[in-house]
Amino acid sequence: MLKKIILNGKRIPVPVPIKTMGEALSWVERHLLRPDSTITRVELNGEEVRFTPDGYLIRPEASLGDEADLRIQMDTPSEICVQTIDALRNLGIGVGRNLKPIAVHLWEYKGAKVPTETQMVLDDIQLLIELYEHVIVLVDKRVDMSNVLSLQTQIHKAYAALQFALQHSDWKGTAKVLLNQLENPILELSQELATLQRTVIEVQADKHMEMKRSRG
């Protein structure tokens, strides 16, 4: 039977008989999961536990012995938001640094297919756009998002122009879009996200203070 759970890095003794993964998660959700938190990662003996797209355990019957190393990460929406902003900011910095050398290479490129290095940057830009949209959903409505939304619009327009140039194998056109339409918004994005991250943390701290006052 399971003896302990590592929850957000802290060792939690298990005082009840738990024999399977399904029982373990049910116990955590009933007794340890805060109302504002979500389980974001589960590992068993160093391997990530798999769930269905609907959030159900794939193997709830998996047995847990005395030596089982079960690790669970719980996060609040604000914590997930801060982590996502951080990931987006780091990705933006990396993409921004790569645009100029990629554009220089494309300007002289004569091949028929998109170069591998260019495709990798394009994939990163697509991921950046997806993370961007995810952040906008997560951010508290009290946070001013006007600058971030403006940059999002610019990046979306530039990405559409980029896709058009690529579809026609217009490598010089692709290079122009990368330098003239994408580089500045992506570099500015990293600065705006640093400010946004601080604001989200401050707003969350204010919400905690309000909750404490209301309880007092």
* DSSP designation for 20: B
Percent of the chain at pLDDT > 70 equals: 95
- Going from the C-alpha of 122 to that of each of 112, 116, 131, the distances in angstroms are 17, 10, 14
How far is the C-alpha of 7 from the C-alpha of 71, rounded, in Å?
6
- The answer to whether 95 and 124 are in contact (CB under 8 A) is yes
The structure tokens listed for 84 are: 């996502």
Q: Per CATH, is 78-215 categorized as 1.10.760?
A: no
In tens, the pLDDT along 132-190 reads 888 887 787 778 888 888 998 999 999 999 999 999 999 999 999 999 999 999 989 88
Nearest residue to 31 (alpha-carbon basis) of 9, 19, 15, 8: 15
pLDDT per position as a tens digit, 46-87 = 999 988 888 888 888 989 988 999 999 988 877 888 888 888
Residue 211 pLDDT greater than 70, yes or no: no
Res 76: pLDDT = 80
In the chain, count H helices and then E strands.
Answer: 6, 5
Domain extent listing, the chain: 4-75, 78-215
CATH of segment(s) 4-75: 3.10.20
> If you write DSSP's letter for every residue of 56-79 in order, what string do you get?
-BS-TT-B--TT--EEEEEE-HHH
Quote the pLDDT of residue 174.
Answer: 94
Rg (alpha carbons) of the chain, rounded to whole number:
23
Residue 26: what pLDDT?
92
What pLDDT score was predicted for residue 200? 81
Whether the predicted model's global pTM rises above the 0.85 cut = no
pLDDT at 213: 67
Tell me phi and psi for residue 203, to 5 degrees: -65, -40
Partners of 48 in beta bridges: 43
- Is the pLDDT confidence value at 208 over 70? no
Query: If you average pLDDT over residues 105-122, what whole number do you get?
Result: 91
What pLDDT sits at residue 163?
A: 92
